[in-house]
Structure 1
Amino acid sequence: MTTSSRIEWTEQTWNPTIGCTKLSAGCKHCYAETLAKRLQAMGLDAYRQGFRLKLLPERLDEPRQRKKPTIYFVNSMSDLFHERIPDDFLDSVMAVIRDTPQHRYQILTKRHERLRSYFAKRPVPGNVWLGVSVENRRHGVPRIDALRHIPAKIRFLSCEPLLEDLGELDLSGIHWVIVGGESGAKARPMHPDWARAIRTQCEDQGATFFFKQWGGWGADGKRRSKKANGRELDGRQWNGMPETVASVVV
């Protein structure tokens, strides 16, 4: 089902699959897993098996029912490029995307190798924004190069939860970078200088910067609610969005 999103950089979520398995450091306190267990306890049928991976073909046509141009985040409750999702199901998702050119679709994955191999044999729909998670140097940074070589109109990074200083980044071919801290009871803190370093590199290399949230820890290093910490970095909000038409760099 599609639902309005509380995610600051999108409008609606569309989950043709739900559930996932942990892959890297950013998965440790997965918000989707926590929410899935809550929905399971509430008795929602789709979450009867909790966070176990499940294909939901009955949801495929939902974007076709919406005529108003909408930005969709695809699979907020899963990873579309999970190794156990068949290529033919991915083909069905892409067919819906191609059939609804009035919408834009944001697809974020930690499985960069599957992402690259899938689109090595298929064109990327023109209304798809492709992104990879970049939470740390070990797991996240290698994903950037895989993304850079895929000819999507918009390529983006989600550095959330940002777990450490990412060091020097090559942002060539990257149009948009989202940065945020971790939320939840077990959130790991994000140092302000880590976010500032990414912002500076975006400015120097021509990528658009978006600061999503501090999460469970504020800029002052104190633990408090996400809402109390706010979304300001150095006294202002950074709400940059990429241009809808961007040059393709491969």
Structure 2
Amino acid sequence: MSNIEWTEQTWNPTTGCDKISPGCDNCYALTMAKRLKGMGQAKYQTDGNPVTSGPGFGIATHADVLTEPLSWKKPRKVFVNSMSDLFHARVPREFLARVFAVMAATPQHTYQILTKRPERAARILTDLCTCGAGHPPGEHLRSQMEWAATSHSPTYVPGLEHGIYHRSGWPLPNVWIGTSIESNDYARRADALRQTPAAVRFISAEPLLGPLPSLDVTGIDWVIYGGESGPGARPLELDWIRDGIAICRAAGAAPFVKQLGSVWASTNGASDRKGGTPGDWPADLRVREYPAAATAGQR
């Protein structure tokens, strides 16, 4: 299970990443990967670039965990890759097809994918036809997903059924796609997200490092706000979140305030060191809404 407030389960078919923007500076997953490598955890023995990544945090795929969701009978919200970015450039397209095949085969679960690389997500999931046959968007990736049920295929995943991927529709109705936007310099990621086929599109403004006056949440269903916690945490100004909630209200997006960060918590004597207890917050920030996923439709 997961301690992350907006999900219930984590699933890491890939591990590792590289820093690409200031929101990555105090990455908890990078620090955790180094510790897990030292403990001998098999998934964290691939080292990344020492400038952008680190020990145990190189990109690695893990075919052995692909079938985990097949054994989860109780429906749950699943955060895909709390220890990686599924749309990192070094995650092979064939492996992405395998991950999406598993998600298609388990419609009882809701999968939440968060990336700092929404441009690649849009490119792969839109997958516009270039073969000249006039295939609809996503058709080539869905074909790779279909082959995941065939033992001699490079996208094979044991235990999957033939045909389920084309019957499930596109985009997959149980898959949410989100991007991280930590400052106004990266508000443009929302533009790529809008081009990404997804049942629900969401933004994680965590750690929120500044105001987001340029952020356009038109076509976005959900926005998560949060401060930074842990060593070297940078401060959060509450008006950044207040402005964000107002932007969400105007556009019809659901706001979710996750936490206010450790700097705010220590300054205000909060009961939780990450500032994650709503009872400690100003009343207007006690907002934890979810998107209307059941009526979001396939867009």
> Is the structural similarity TM-score above 0.5?
yes
Q: What letter is aligned with 1:114?
A: R
Distance in 1 of aligned mates of 2:40 and 2:76: 29
Distance in 1 of aligned mates of 2:247 and 2:298: 18
Query: How far did 1:125 drift?
Result: 1.2
Percent identical among aligned pairs is 48
Q: Which runs of 5+ in 1 are unaligned?
A: none
Q: Does 1:78 find its partner at 2:75? A: no
Distance in 2 of aligned mates of 1:60 and 1:226: 35
Question: Cα–Cα, structure 1 residues 83 and 155, in superposed 2: closer, same or farther, change >3 Å?
Answer: same
Aligned residue in 2 for 1:243? 292
SS of the residue 1:156 aligns to = strand
Question: CA offsets per residue over residues 4-44 of structure 1, 9 Å max, x none?
Answer: 11100000000000011111111111111011112122221
Distance in 1 of aligned mates of 2:297 and 2:95: 26
Distance in 2 of aligned mates of 1:34 and 1:226: 21
> Which one of 150, 156, 167 corresponds to residue 196 of structure 2?
150
Aligned residue in 2 for 1:108? 114
Question: Cα–Cα, structure 1 residues 249 and 47, in superposed 2: closer, same or farther, change >3 Å?
Answer: closer
Distance in 2 of aligned mates of 1:44 and 1:223: 37
Distance in 2 of aligned mates of 1:112 and 1:225: 36
Distance in 2 of aligned mates of 1:226 and 1:214: 10
Distance in 1 of aligned mates of 2:118 and 2:233: 25
Question: CA offsets per residue over residues 59-87 of structure 1, 9 Å max, x none?
Answer: 00000111111110000000000000110
> Which one of 17, 23, 26 corresponds to residue 26 of structure 1?
23
Runs ≥4 residues deviating over 4 A:
219-226
Q: Which has the higher helix share?
A: 2
Contact map agreement 2:173 2:298 (CA 8 A) in 1: no
Distance in 1 of aligned mates of 2:3 and 2:203: 19
Contact map agreement 1:192 1:219 (CA 8 A) in 2: no
Question: Cα–Cα, structure 1 residues 224 and 240, in superposed 2: closer, same or farther, change >3 Å?
Answer: closer
**1:39-118 → structure 2 map (5 Å cutoff):** 39-49=36-46, 50-118=56-124
**1:73-222 → structure 2 map (5 Å cutoff):** 73-121=79-127, 122=138, 123-139=170-186, 141-218=187-264
Distance in 2 of aligned mates of 1:130 and 1:59: 21
Contact map agreement 1:8 1:212 (CA 8 A) in 2: yes
Q: Does 1:37 find its partner at 2:83? A: no
SS of the residue 1:245 aligns to = helix
Q: What letter is aligned with 2:89?
A: E
* Count of matched residue pairs: 246
Comparing 198-207 with 228-237, greater Cα deviation is found at 228-237
- Pick the structure with greater CA Rg: 2
SS of the residue 2:10 aligns to = strand
Contact map agreement 1:20 1:51 (CA 8 A) in 2: yes
Q: Which runs of 5+ in 2 are unaligned?
A: 47-55, 128-137, 139-169
Q: What letter is aligned with 1:40?
A: K
Aligned residue in 1 for 2:282? 234
SS of the residue 2:223 aligns to = strand
TM-score normalised by the chain length of structure 2: 0.78
TM-score normalised by the chain length of structure 1: 0.92
SS of the residue 2:225 aligns to = strand
Q: What letter is aligned with 1:188?
A: R
Distance in 2 of aligned mates of 1:42 and 1:145: 41
Contact map agreement 1:191 1:219 (CA 8 A) in 2: no
Contact map agreement 2:114 2:180 (CA 8 A) in 1: yes
Question: CA offsets per residue over residues 132-191 of structure 1, 9 Å max, x none?
Answer: 00101112x111011112231111000000010111432111110000011111111111
